[in-house]
Chain A
Amino acid sequence: DTGVSQDPRHKITKRGQNVTFRCDPISEHNRLYWYRQTLGQGPEFLTYFQNEAQLEKSRLLSDRFSAERPKGSFSTLEIQRTEQGDSAMYLCASSLNGADTQYFGPGTRLTVL
């Protein structure tokens, strides 16, 4: 257990539905990252926050994806109008600062039917 928690661990939804995932980082960590991982591939960067500010978004993050980190604590990742191609493991990581080791949560596995 790294101290980073994610909820839910598994989510099955039908195409077109909206889903929201939550990540609780290690409490004193300022940085929070979201990644997506598909079968057989390494994690791909999606976006990251420095406290409550979203500083960078990958081109992978389409308009259907939105992430927030209110008050610089937990973060949510919402996917609107889910598509089958969104099926993946969504990973959250946190670090004390930008140059520090990232600690990953267990991930949320999304299956879109």
Chain B
Amino acid sequence: LAKTTQPISMDSYEGQEVNITCSHNNIATNDYITWYQQFPSQGPRFIIQGYKTKVTNEVASLFIPADRKSSTLSLPRVSLSDTAVYYCLVGLMNRDDKIIFGKGTRLHILP
């Protein structure tokens, strides 16, 4: 699996848009990009997945530039309940693959 690099922590305020960028310079042609969210004392929760350009769901948007060497998770109008750790993962989704987590980004939303 391609190694990922993301900020250790970020702070933002309620109502703001938060963008968390993940670098994955060694991403392979068939690799997908997946983001998970984890609250304290809970298991990770799938947020969004994409291959290229832009993906949007009811929770977030994922922006992937043409070279795919990075991706940005965008959380619109965050609230205090978005305080969590966010993990960026890169790997194949068309074959068996175990997930390898990094340390993630600790997002702290302030009132």
Contact = CB atoms under 8 A, between A and B. Distances in A.
A6 to B, nearest CB: 8
Contact of A99 (B42, B43, B96, B102): B96
Nearest to B95: A99
In this complex, the interface size class of chain B, counting residues with CB under 8 Å from chain A, is 20 to 34
Interface stretch (A14-22, A35-43, A68-76, A78-86): A35-43
Given A98-B95, A99-B94, A104 B101 contact: no
Contacts of A91: 43-44
Contacts of A40: 103
Task: Please classify the interface of chain B as helix (H, G, I), strand (E, B), loop, or mixed, using the class held by over half of its residues.
Answer: loop
Given A2-B45, A42-B104, A99 B93 contact: yes
Interface string A85-107: 00001011100001111111111
A103 B93 contact: no
Contacts of A105: 43
A23 to B, nearest CB: 11
Interface of A: 2, 4, 33, 40-45, 48, 56, 89, 91-93, 98-107, 109
29 contacts: A2-B45, A4-B43, A33-B99, A40-B103, A42-B85, A42-B102, A42-B103, A43-B99, A44-B101, A45-B98, A45-B100, A56-B98, A92-B43, A93-B43, A99-B92, A99-B93, A99-B95, A100-B93, A101-B34, A101-B46, A101-B49, A102-B99, A104-B42, A104-B44, A104-B45, A105-B43, A106-B42, A107-B41, A109-B41
